[in-house]
Amino acid sequence: MKKFRNWFVGISLVIGGIFLGASSANYFEINKQLDIFTNIFKEINLYYVDETQPQELMEKAITSMLRSLDPYTNYIRETDVEDFRIQTTGQYGGIGASIRQRDDHVMVVMPYEGFPADKAGLKAGDLLLKIDDDDLKGLASDEVSRLLKGSPGSSFQLTFERDGKVFKKKITREEVQLKSVPYCGMVGPNIGYIRLNSFTNKASKEISEAMDDLKKDNELKGLILDLRGNPGGLLTEAINVSNLFVPKGEEVVSTRGRIKEWDRSYKTLNSPVDTEIPLVVLINRSSASASEIVSGTIQDLDRGVVIGQRSFGKGLVQQTRKLTYGAQIKVTVSKYHTPSGRCIQAINYAERRDDGSVEKVPDSLRMAFQTVGGRLVYDGGGIDPDIDMEVKEASKILRTLISNSYIFDYATQFQRQNAEIPEAGTFKLNDAQYKAFMDFLADKDIDYETKTENLITELKEAARDEKYFESLERELNKLKKEFKDKKAADLFTFKDDIIQQLEAEIVSRYYYQEGRSRQMINYDDEVKKAIEVLLDRELYNSILSPPEEGASSE
């Protein structure tokens, strides 16, 4: 009971800390609700018929409360603080490898070049069996990840399986620094390319160094900054990355929240790297938060052209606040506004339907703002690209090959049988190698339903309901058989798309993440469009110019 009292007092202090930040107008209501809650919690834990778990109960209450606010306000347990730190720094002590679940085991997806896993000879497809004497079978990937991490310099014996054979290796953990920039290189005549995966505390430094490298051996006349799939990160780094391309003293973003004294305007503090080089920023539906601050700033200041699809629409800012017992809370404290004054938040979490769901801001309610040059831009729904590119959906068969790990497994087999391949970007899978892939699939279950099959099934059900089935049965069955025959040819119909994924997966076995990025650029329509725009200065300038008076901007 004494242990429970001490724990309860700690939780009360945590809640009290939240209370201290409240406005005086809500003083009575907050105090009242805290009193009710603490009394209910105490009564349940003291008198409930069965033994309770106070920590579990409290975490469920906290999680439920925060879920009613927005997806970004989160409680971070003491045990999860280190994982949160890794997200913001990209730095941890470990072996340097991405892993994932494979049935009852955890499998290596890719070792990072030059880190302990790579030095120890681990390869994609290896199954992790033991860490020292601890059996890993049945553990989830996050549990195994925690066991693999540790203080740099500490060692352990790893037992793993490859092609049915068991190996043991002594591995010494090192400080692992994940790159924010996994690849940079030249992709066209004097056109440079930089991919940014996340806004860690070294993002701007890595981009600056990448630009220096590109300029060192090339006459750089245009730059592509790829923010596709980048979920964001640190606000300060979004400002610093923008600062690489815009002058010192320029407002990048302003934040506004309920506590007015916390409202701030953030301006660039440093001399830029290059304010003149033609710039294209690539975004997509998964570009969020800090990615939207950078792309929105570049767009609002008419500093470059944005290409891709409308971004995610996260215009909220979170602040991490420390709690007692080593826990933390990441709480949404404000909304951010780009230089034109727009907030691109797509969902209004303050207004929920009766069932608790929320909806996006409709296009009809989005307000217009202007860039410094007079171009129209809109709030309330992410960053709209200056050039909208259609999303090419993967075929059903390709999605099935990926989700069932058939492409992954074939790439693993390919590496076992081929000591080397041409360098990334030049590797091409030939017809004989694709035939070998088809042979590899011969005994695999490739079961998927297409929209056409679903419609045929629906048509048969409708025919039964309306008493037409007997007269149409022969034609419907014939149609289903004809389509099944056509579906069997999908490996040929979608050969080009499948080869692209095969090549990227195979190249990653030899040239790691950097090689995969370089290989995929060969088939990237948005990169090709960016190169076209950067090479045509007249087109580039026309996109950044406001429409002529009287002309429609639709």
* Active-site residue, from 179, 202, 314, 460: 314
Burial status of residue 151 (CB atoms within 10 A of its CB: 0-12, 13-18, 19 or more): exposed
Is 314 catalytic? The answer is yes
Residues 275, 421 within the same domain: no
Could you read off the pLDDT tens digit of each residue along the chain, which spans 554 residues?
444 444 444 444 444 444 444 555 577 888 899 999 999 999 999 999 999 999 999 999 999 999 999 999 999 998 888 888 888 888 899 999 999 999 999 999 999 999 999 999 999 999 999 999 999 999 999 999 999 999 999 999 999 999 999 999 999 999 998 899 999 999 989 999 999 999 999 999 999 999 999 999 899 999 999 999 999 999 999 999 999 999 999 999 999 998 888 899 999 999 999 999 999 999 999 999 999 999 999 999 999 999 999 999 999 999 999 999 899 999 999 999 999 999 999 998 887 777 777 888 888 889 999 999 999 999 998 999 999 999 988 988 999 999 999 999 999 999 999 999 999 999 999 999 999 999 999 888 887 666 666 776 777 677 777 776 666 667 767 666 666 666 668 899 999 999 999 999 999 999 999 999 999 999 999 999 999 999 999 999 999 998 876 555 44
Tell me phi and psi for residue 538, to 5 degrees.
Answer: -65, -45
Residues 152, 300 within the same domain: no
Answer for the pair 290, 234: CB distance below 8 angstroms, yes or no: yes
Residues 336, 220 within the same domain: yes
Q: What is the domain-level CATH number for residue 114?
A: 2.30.42.10
* Active-site residue, from 145, 287, 289, 295: 289
Is 545 catalytic? The answer is no
| Domain assignment of residue 307, yes or no | yes
* Axis-axis angle for helices 451-465, 469-487 (nearest 10): 170
For 487-520, letters b (16+ CB in 10 Å) and e give beebeeebbebbbbbbbbbbbbbbbbbbbbbbbb
| Domain assignment of residue 442, yes or no | yes
Residues 423, 351 within the same domain: no
- Helix (H/G/I), strand (E/B), else coil: 130: strand
- Helix (H/G/I), strand (E/B), else coil: 13: helix
| Domain assignment of residue 476, yes or no | yes
Structural domain count of the chain: 5
| Domain assignment of residue 37, yes or no | yes
- Residue where one domain finishes, among candidates 432, 467, 487: 487
* Active-site residue, from 226, 300, 379, 490: 300
Half-sphere exposure of 115 (CA within 13 A, CB side): 24
Half-sphere exposure of 471 (CA within 13 A, CB side): 5
Residues 384, 418 within the same domain: no
The overall pTM is greater than 0.75: yes
Is 289 catalytic? The answer is yes
Residues 52, 142 within the same domain: no
Containing structural domain, residue 483:
451-487
Residues 265, 314 within the same domain: yes
Tokens of 212: 């220096």
| Domain assignment of residue 155, yes or no | yes
